[in-house]
Structure 1
Amino acid sequence: MFDADWPHRLHSAEQVRALDAQIIAAGTPGFALMQRAAAACWRALRKQFGEVGALTVLAGSGNNAGDGYLIALLAQQAGWQVQLYWLSEPAGLRGDAQLAVQAAQAAGVAMQAFDQQAEANGVLVDALLGTGLSGEVRAPYRAAIEWLNQQTNPCLAVDIPSGLCADSGAVLGAAVQADITVTFIGLKLGLFTGAGPEYVGTLVFADLQAGETAQTAPSVAQVLTSDTVPRLPPRSAACHKGQLGHVLIVGGDLGMGGAVLLAAEAALRLGAGMVSVATRAEHVAPLLARLPEVMVKAMRSAADLQPLLARASVVVLGPGLGQSAWGISLASAVAASDVAQVWDADALNLLAAGTLRAPQAPWLITPHPGEAARLLAISSAAVQAGRPQALARLCGRYPATVLLKGVGSLLAEQGSAVSCCVHGHPAMAGPGLGDVLSGAVAALWAQGLSALEALQLAVWLHARAGEQLGAQGRGLAASDLIAVMRRLLEEHAPCRT
C-alpha cells in the first residue's frame, strides 16, 4: 500500500545514485548515510518481526553490503545472535562499505563465506545486490538468492530485493522474495510496476534526511494520488446534458453484448451527458431493459453508424467488437471519423494486425501487456521486462495517449511525464473491467478534461474502487466497480460546491 505521506515522484536507480552523491557533496558523509540506512532497516525489522533475537545477513559487495554489515552490528549490540555470510571477500570492499566491515568486525560479528549449508537463524537480511544490477544475476549470487527463497524465515531486503530491476520491476533471472523492503532516499519505479509488488512485500520508505534535495530531484514518473490526479470542475446550477458530452460505445458482436453494456453504464455513472450504444440488433432489447437511460441503435453496416458519429463527443471502440467483417466495418468507420476516440480490446488487435489504421482524430489506447506486445511486435515477456520502455515505444509509434495496463499501470502521451498507478487488487483479475475503464475514460474526456487528464483520473478511480472492493475477496464483478467509482469521484470532485 502506498503511504499518503510518501513523495509522489518515482525515480530510476541512476537518479537515486545521483541524489546520494548530491547529498554527500552537500556535506553529509557517505558513511553517515549508510548508518542512517542501517538504522532504518533495524527499526523496521524490529517493528515488523519483534524481538526475534537472531539475525542472518547475506552480504554482497558495494554499499548494499555495507548496509548489511551495519545492520549486523546493530543486532550484535542489541544482544541478538548474529551470523553474516559474505559472497564478496570483506577485505575487498572499498570506501564506506569497508568502514562498515571494520565496524562489524570490531564488534565481534561472526562472519564467514556463504555456501549452501549456511544456517538460517531468525530474520534473514538480503544485502546482496541493491539497485546497481543491470544484467541477469550470475553465480554465486543466484545460488544465494535461491537459498534465501527456500527458507521459511522472514526476510528483509535492503533498498530493493536483490535481482529485481529498480527501473522496470523485472526479475533479472532470480529475485529475493522479501517480506519487507526498506528503500532509501527516493522511491524507485521498479518497486511499484511489473513484478516489483510481488517481491517487495511490505514497503518501508526512509528518506535518510534527504529533505529538499530529494523533493526537487529529477524523476521518471509521478504516482497517481488524490493530490495529483485532475478534478472535474463543479457544475453550475444552470448546466444541462448537452454541455456534458455525448459518449458513443461501438461494439458488442454476437455473444458479447455485456462488454458494451458495462462501458455504457460506466460512462453514464461517471457523468456523461448522453450515452449511445451502436451494437448488434440482438443486444438492443437487453441493453434497454438494463439501461433505459442509454440510447441503443442496431448496426447492420457502417452506414448506420454515420448519424451517431456526427453527434458524438467521444467514441469508445473495442468492447466486444470482435474481428468479423461486421466489427471491422464499424471500426473502419470510426477510425475515419474526426471524433475523439478511446480504443481497447479488439480495436487494438485489429490495429496490430494491420486491418485498421490509426485515426487522425484525438486518440487514446489502453492495451494490456498482451495487446501491447502485438502492437509492438514483441513478446508479452519483453513488454513486462521493460514496461517503461514499452510505454515509450507505444507513445512513439502511435500518436495517442497511452495506458499500459498491469500491476503498476503506466500512462503517458508523447512529450508528457509518465504517471504510475500504485493502487489495485488481485481480485480485479476478471472479465469486463477494461470495458468499465474505457467507458469511464470517455465520460471524463467528454466532460472537458484533456485525454491525459481523463485517463489519469479514470485509472485512479478504477484502481481505488477495485482496491476497496477487493478487500472483500474473490468474485469481484466488473459492474461492482461502477457505483464505487461514482462515489469516489464525488468525494474527489463534488458535483456542486
Structure 2
Amino acid sequence: MHSTSGDVPTALYTASQVRKLDALAIAQTEGGGYALMRRAGRAAFRHLQRTFPEATSIAVFCGGGNNGGDGYVIAELAKQSGKTVRLIAVSDPEKLGGEAEEAWRQAKAAGVAVERVDDVDIDTVLEGAEIVVDALLGTGLSGEVREDYARVIHCINQAGKPVLAVDIPSGLSADSGVLLGATIKATLTSTFIGIKRGLLTGAASNVVGELWFDDLGVAPEVFCQVESPVSRVGFSDSKRLLPARDQAAHKGHFGYVLVVGGDVGFGGAVLMAAEAACRAGAGLVGCATVGPHISAGLVRVPEVMFKAVDHRQMLEKMLSSATVVALGPGLGQGPWGRMCFQTVTHFCRDKNISMVLDADGLNLLAEDPVALPSNTVITPHPGEAARLLGTTVPEVLEDRFASAEALARRYQATVVLKGAGTLIAALNGERALTSVMAEHGNPGMAAGGMGDVLTGMTAALMAQGMNGFDAARLAVSWHAHSADLAAARAGMISLVATDVIAGLGTAWLQSADLSSVDHRFEAELAKE
C-alpha cells in the first residue's frame, strides 16, 4: 500500500461512513463538491502518471454517478497532458446531475470526445489503449452488477491491459470485500478521503492491485466526526504493543504456555505450535500429547517439556502450572481429543486461565459450546467459523466483518477470522472492535501448519502479559511478515509453516518495507 499524503491512516470505513466524510469535507471545501471531485480526479491521474509514465493513450470508462464524474476529470487532464483519450460513457451523460454533470461538461469543453458505449466496439477501443481507467461503479454499489455494466467489465478484464480503478474496482463491495458479480481486476486502485474496509479483506486481494490513498487535503477534524470501530493493523505498529524486557528479567516473567494436542497421526501440528510458542518469546513451553510423539518432539524442539497424557488427572496436573493453554493443534475428535477438550475447557474456565483455541478445538466447541475463560482467543478459518455459527461458508464470506463480530459476541472471545485480510475482532463492552491485517501475507501461506504456528505465537504473546486482542493483532502481523520474508527468499510455491517459525527472529528485527516486499512478490509471481 502506498500513500501520497503522508502516512496511510489506520481507520477503515463503510460506504455510508465515507459518504458522511464526503459531506463534511464538501461543507468545508471552497467550491464544494465539484472542487473535491477535481481533487480526486487530479490525485488519480497523478497516480496513473507515476505508475505508467510512458503511457500515451488511455481509455476511460465512465458510469452514471460521482465515480463516473471522477473519470471525466481524469479524461480532461489526460487530454490536456497530450495523451490520446477515448472516453466511453456507459450511462447516458445527458442524465447526469450535480458534480458529475459539471465534470462531463468541462471534459467536453476541453476537447474530450464522449462516446456512448452502444456506439463503439469495446474490444477495438481497448486494443488502442495502453491504460484503462475504471470509473464505472463506486462505493454505492450494493446489489449485483447490472448486465450492461457486466459486459463492459468482462471486456476490460479480457483485454489484459493495465487498469486504474477509481476509488474502488467496479463490482467490489466497499463494505465486505465480496464480489458483486462481474468485477474489474485492477492493476492499481486510487482511493480517496477514507479507506473503505472492503478494499482490504476477502476477495479484494484478487482485484484491487496496488492500493494508493489520498486524503484530498481534507482537514483532520473532519475525520474526528466519523468514528469507526474498524482499523488497519500492521507489524511495525503492533510491535509496540509488547513491552520491552527488563534487563533483570528471568523466564518466569514471560509465562508458561501449555500446548495440548497431537493425537496419533497428528503430531506435526502440536510440535509446530510448541516450537512457535518458544520462538515468540514464552518463558516456558510444555506440550501435552500422546506417547508416540514424545521422542520426535524432543529431537525437534528440546526446549519444550513434552509429556504423554493418558487421562484427565495427568492433564489437570499440567494445567495447574500454565499461564496460557493452546488447545487444538492435531487434537482430533476421537476419545483422547474429546477428553482433552472437556478437561481443558472446564479447568481453564474454573481457574480463569487464558486460552487459545484452534483446529479441532474449535470443531469440538461447535458441538459443545461451553463457556470459555474471559481472556480467550479463537482462530477459525471460514469453514470452522461456519460450524461455530451454525451457518454456511458462503454466508460467512458474504460479510466477514459481521461474521467475526457474531463469533465474538456468541463466544465472548477475541476472534481471528483467518483468510486474505485476516480480521481480529473483540468486544469492548457492547461495542465490537475489529482490526484488519492487510499489509502482510501472501498466497504461499495457503499450506498446512500455518494455523498451528499462529496458535503457538498467540499463546506465547498472551503468556507475556498481552490481552487476547493485542496478542492476536501482533501474532497475525508478525506471522504474516515472517511469511513474506520467507517467500521473498525462496518463493511462495515452496513456503512451508516451519519456514515461518525459522524466520520469526529475523522478521522481528527487520522493519517492514511494504513497497519492496510488494515488488518482490510481483517478481516471484512472474517467475512462477
Tell me if both proteins adopt one fold, taking TM over 0.5 as the criterion: yes
- Of the three residues 401, 415, 418, the one matched with 2:414 is 401
State the SS of the aligned residue for 2:455: helix
Q: 1:452 aligns with which of 469, 474, 485?
A: 469
1:159-178 superposed matches below 5 A: 159-178=167-186
How far apart in 2 are the matches of 1:152 and 1:360? Answer: 52
SS at match of 1:172: coil
1:380 maps to amino acid: V
Query: How far apart in 2 are the matches of 1:293 and 1:386?
Result: 42
Counterpart pick for 1:157 among 165, 173, 179:
165
Shift of 1:361: 5.0
Partner Cα separation in structure 2 for residue 433 and residue 2 of structure 1: 28
Q: Conserved in 1, the CA contact under 8 Å of 2:171 and 2:184?
A: yes
Deviations 1:7-59 (A, max 9, x none): 12111111111111101111332111111111111111122222322121111
Q: Write out per-residue CA displacement over residues 111-167 of structure 1, whole angstroms, 9 at most, x where no aligned residue.
A: 222147222131111111111101111121111211211112211111000010111
Secondary structure, counterpart of 2:139 in structure 1: helix
Answer yes or no: is the 8 Å Cα contact 2:323–2:463 preserved in 1: yes
Identity level (%): 47
SS state at 2:147 partner = coil
| Partners of 1:351 and 1:358 within 8 A in 2 | no
Q: Does 2:286 align with 1:282?
A: no
Q: CA deviation at 1:2?
A: 5.7
Alignment equivalent of 2:384, drawn from 365, 371, 387: 371
Contact persistence 1:410–1:419 (CA under 8 A): yes
RMSD: 1.7
CA drift of 1:230 comes to 4.3
Structure 1 residue 346 and structure 2 residue 360: aligned?
yes
Contact 1:12 1:220 in 2 (8 A): no
Are the aligned partners of 1:61 and 1:88 in contact in 2 as well (CA < 8 Å)?
Answer: yes
Q: Could you tell me which residue of structure 2 aligns to residue 18 of structure 1?
A: 20
Post-superposition shift, 1:5? 2.2
The total of aligned residue pairs comes to 491
Could you say what secondary structure the match of 2:480 adopts? helix
What are the Cα deviations for residues 160-193 of structure 1, in whole angstroms up to 9, with x where unaligned? 0001011111101121001111101111111110
- 1:35-434 aligned at under 5 Å gives the runs 35-115=38-118, 117-118=121-122, 119-120=125-126, 121-122=128-129, 123-216=131-224, 217-225=226-234, 226-228=236-238, 230-338=240-348, 339-352=353-366, 354-355=367-368, 357-415=370-428, 416-422=432-438, 423-434=440-451
Query: Corresponding residue for 2:522?
Result: none
Match for 2:487 among 448, 460, 470? Answer: 470
For residues 213 and 16 of structure 1, the distance between their equivalents in structure 2, rounded to whole angstroms, comes to 15
CA contact (8 A) 1:426 1:470 kept: no
1:240, distance to aligned residue in structure 2 (A):
2.1
| Partner amino acid, structure 1, of 2:18 | V
Contact kept in structure 1, 2:21 and 2:223, CA below 8 Å: no
Q: CA deviation at 1:219?
A: 2.3
- How far apart in 1 are the matches of 2:410 and 2:279? 33
For residue 189 of structure 2, give the secondary structure of its aligned residue in structure 1. Answer: strand
- 1:234 deviation in Å? 2.5
Instruction: Find the aligned partners of 2:483 and 2:55 in 1 and give their Cα distance.
Output: 36
Residue 381 of structure 2 aligns with an amino acid whose one-letter code is H
- Corresponding residue for 1:495? none
* Pairing partner for 2:502 from 483, 486, 492: 483
AA in 1 matched with 2:77: L
Conserved 8 A contact 2:374-2:412? no
Instruction: Compute the displacement of 1:456 (Å).
Output: 1.2
How far apart, in 1, do the equivalents of 2:500 and 2:15 lie?
36
For 2:25 and 2:246, the matched residues in 1 are separated by 49
Give the match's secondary structure for 2:161: coil
Contact conserved, 1:331 with 1:356, CA < 8 A, in 2?
no
State the secondary structure of the residue aligned to 1:331.
Answer: helix
Contact kept? 1:7, 1:215, Cα under 8 Å: no
Rounded to whole Å, the distance in 1 between the matches of 2:180 and 2:53 is 32
Distance in 1, matches of 2:294 and 2:78, equals 69
- CA shift, 1:201, in A, is 0.9
**Deviation at residue 214 of structure 1 after TM alignment:** 5.0
Please tell me the residue identity of whatever aligns with 2:415: V
Per-residue Cα deviation, 1:82-115 (whole angstroms, up to 9, x for no partner): 2111122111100111101111111221222214
Asked whether the equivalents of residues 254 and 283 of structure 2 are also in contact (C-alpha less than 8 Å), the reply is yes
Give the conservation status (yes or no) of the 8 Å contact 1:275–1:294. Answer: yes
Q: 1:462 offset after TM fit, Å?
A: 0.6
Residues of 1 paired with 2:252 and 2:54: CA distance?
64
Partner Cα distance (1:351, 1:213) in 2: 45
Aligned partners of 2:425 and 2:435 also within 8 Å? yes
Query: Does the Cα contact within 8 Å between 1:145 and 1:174 map onto a contact in 2?
Result: yes
Runs of 4+ in 1 over 4 A off after TM superposition: none
Confirm or deny: 8 A CA contact 2:29 2:36 kept in the other structure. no
Q: Distance in 2 between matches of 1:250 and 1:2?
A: 42
8 Å CA contact 2:372–2:411 kept in 1: the answer is no
**Structure 1 counterpart of 2:144, which letter?**
E
- Deviations 1:237-260, CA, capped at 9 Å, x for gaps: 332222221110000011111111
Unaligned regions of 5+ residues in structure 1, if any?
A: 493-497
Q: Distance in 2 between matches of 1:398 and 1:2?
A: 37
Residues 169, 190 of structure 1: 8 Å contact kept = yes
- Rounded to whole Å, the distance in 2 between the matches of 1:299 and 1:361 is 26
